[in-house]
Amino acid sequence: MAMEEVDVSPDALALLTKIGQETGLRYASNLITTSDLIRKKRNSPEVTIEHVQRSFALFYDSTRSVKFVSDSEKRLIGDAGDVSFAISNGTDAMDVS
């Protein structure tokens, strides 16, 4: 497995450290990778706190994932246990065929 160096600003490193302590090292290391991808796309010299915040908003840790599913359960799983990914918004569904 190849190791890649990532330049991280002090503020971003502090935020990643806090996230790692609260959620786990694996999630924090994944945020480093995704933050670096965002940095490259934006042609920045180093990962900044904004890159980490964007990654954090895009990718949920296990605790936030569980909360999202719990909060969304009634919309995703019906009383009979049937699963529906359709969202009723009062408009006709888009034809994708």
10: pLDDT confidence band, cut at 50, 70 and 90? very high
CB 12 within 8 A of CB 35: yes
Overall pTM surpassing 0.95 (yes/no): no
Range from 13-17, 25-29, 65-69 carrying the lowest mean pLDDT: 65-69
Structural domains of the chain ordered from first start = 10-76 (1.10.8.60)
73, pLDDT greater than 90: no
Bridge partners of 77? Answer: 83
CB 74 within 8 A of CB 36: no
